[in-house]
Amino acid sequence: MKSDVKKWRVSLPLHEALQVFAGQHASAIYELNDASATPEAESFVAACASQHAGAAIELLSKSILAREHPALILQNLPDALPRPVTVNDLVGKRTSDANELYALAARHLSLDKRIVNLGKSILRDRNQAVHLGYSDHDLGEILDRISLWIYYLQESSGLKESDWLSSSASAAQYSRFNAFTVGIREAITDARAKFERMKSAIIDAHQKDVSRLSFSKWRQDREQSKLELHELGDLIAEVCPACESQAQIVAMIDDVEYEYEGPDEVSTNVFYSFAFECPVCELEFDDTEVTFVFKDGQSLAELQDRFALGI
């Protein structure tokens, strides 16, 4: 190792070095190229992205905790730590499990539960990429997931893109997140237009021939139609932001985690992946989009306002 690298590393307090390393991993995801010629290459790009995303979450969590106290990230409490602590002082010391540290950092920042779960899901995806060599998500999905996580993490921690990401990754994060939001707005607007076309056709037909379905009966039939298809997951009733019909979020159990809390005390954490679909206008959202669109306790008017729908 060249001495100037070591010199640079020990010149930074631990939490600052960890933030730099986290930013390097997060930035690296944006520099990956998805224009892969073969499925093998595409799979490898996704596995690399997944490993970088998990490393970014783990290292940023450590940085956030180490800023409070460096001992927080260690598995065993050390006898003494010098001040300031640098990464070199941690040689030979074990840091705690990434999931535990992330959970602790998330509590410290009061991160929203869905965002906490998104981060845990990114960490699980990283483990699969490390131990089995592949990711279930492609590069685009990994970017959507990590950019959403980064957006909320920054909002809670006060970090800014330019504090920890490279300049090109900062710009990419900013435009990626905007594109994600614009994509959601367009999906809602398109579904709304489609719904209005269907609605006029049904009303016209009913006016010409009263034996044809009325609009309210047609809507009711469609609202009921897909319920029976979802026996595998729990349904959460949600009003569709596009057509205001009764729709559902389907919650499928992704993973169950048991956490040892003390003698005879084990807490159970159930992780879900979500999908939204409206049986009337057919608007659909995947897991990442559901996490972003539907906030707990948000009214329909607030949701429509958030996406500037002007409905």
| Binding footprint of Zn ion on the chain (CB under 5 A) | 240, 242-243, 245, 278, 280-281, 283
Shortest gap between Cβ of 248 and Zn ion (angstroms)?
11
Closer to Zn ion by CB, 172 or 283: give it.
283
Shortest gap between Cβ of 302 and Zn ion (angstroms)?
17
Closer to Zn ion by CB, 138 or 223: give it.
223
Pair 32, 42: CB distance under 8 Å: no
Question: 210: exposed, middle or buried (C-beta count within 10 Å: 0-12, 13-18, 19+)?
Answer: exposed
Shortest gap between Cβ of 289 and Zn ion (angstroms)?
14
Q: Contacts from 193-198 at CB under 8 Å and sequence distance 24+? A: 194/281, 194/282, 195/242, 195/243, 195/280, 195/281, 198/281
Shortest gap between Cβ of 246 and Zn ion (angstroms)?
9
Closer to Zn ion by CB, 111 or 187: give it.
187
Alpha-carbon distance 286 to 43, whole Å? 21
Measured between alpha carbons, how far apart are the two ends of the chain, in Å? 60
Shortest gap between Cβ of 173 and Zn ion (angstroms)?
31
Residue with tokens 């409490």: 77
Please report the DSSP string for 102-127 in residue order: HHHHHHHHT--HHHHHHHHHHHHHHH
Shortest gap between Cβ of 188 and Zn ion (angstroms)?
9
**Looking at the chain, which runs of residues are DSSP E strands?**
234-239, 246-262, 265-277, 284-285
Closer to Zn ion by CB, 176 or 192: give it.
192
Name the CA radius of gyration of the chain, rounded: 23
Closer to Zn ion by CB, 17 or 242: give it.
242
Closer to Zn ion by CB, 132 or 237: give it.
237
Shortest gap between Cβ of 226 and Zn ion (angstroms)?
11
Closer to Zn ion by CB, 242 or 249: give it.
242
Exposure on the CB side of residue 77, measured as CA atoms within 13 A: 2
